[in-house]
Amino acid sequence: MAWFDDFEHGYGHPGPIRVEGGLRARSKRGSIGSTWWSRRFIDILERVCDKGRLSRGRAYARQGQVLSIDLEAGEVRAAVQGSRRTPYAVVVRIEAFGESRWAELEAAVAAQAVHRARLLAGEMPPEIEELFAAAGVDLFPRDLDMDCSCPDWGFPCKHLSAVLYLLAEAFDDDPFLVLAWRGRTREQLLGSLAADRPAEPPAVADVPFAERLADFYAPGASVHRPERRPAAAAPGLLLRVFPPPADLGQALAPAYDRLGERPEEP
């Protein structure tokens, strides 16, 4: 009966050993995963995996049969209690990106102010999947290298399915786990994005409005706040800041110089 050792239906088998304190899915019925990123992960699984075993995996996840899940770069390891006394060992592997690839991805994220701001705020912008694709990689894995120590020959077995569904719920709680699985922890990514913060704009003196009442509506200088004329621009400065086409530079130089001159006193 070894081949049917952990089949919870048929052949008179009693089903899995119930455990106390296992990891239990929050979802009681229907689909698992509520955010766009966890649903994206589940959609990939449900397209390529056996629907019957996925259904039994959801039942295992909701019963609390998964004892532990540990995620690190490129690998998830878990223990699932079946009908045998010894829990089954589950391993799910994906590609973890190297430092050079992550440097490229972080630079691409930092170049998009909105994406960068949302990640720094703890959110996962939907456009980040396209950003990864533009770099030639997938944010969500298309291929999973999965293994379970159970005797079930199906792929994936219900033990693997239970772990994958609970992993999706973990992604709901912390979207940075998706990136950590690819090789970048939250601390590493946010530290890199914070270090790439653009230069702060120059400080501008804040004058209280009450002190501006005397001249706020005046068209120009007043006796209370004499006009401060700007210093004349250095010759050729405007040409360097706003360079015209090469063949016009010499012809426009006198006009640019006159624009930078101080106007004559009335």
pLDDT at 116: 82
What's the average model confidence in pLDDT over 120-135? 88
What pTM does this model have? 0.67
Distance CA 221, CA 241 (A): 29
What number of H helices and E strands is found in the chain?
10, 4
pLDDT at 8: 46
Contact 66, 200 (CB under 8 A): no
Burial class (CB in 10 A: 0-12, 13-18, 19+), 55: exposed
pLDDT at 207: 55
Average pLDDT of the chain is 77
pLDDT higher than threshold 70 for residue 128: yes
Name every residue whose Cβ is closer than 8 Å to that of residue 224 and which is 6 or more positions away in sequence.
Answer: 214, 215
Kindly report, residue by residue over 69-113, the tens digit of the pLDDT: 999 999 999 999 999 999 999 999 999 999 999 999 999 988 888
pLDDT at 112: 86
pLDDT at 119: 83
The percentage of the chain sitting over the pLDDT mark of 70, rounded to a whole number, equals: 69
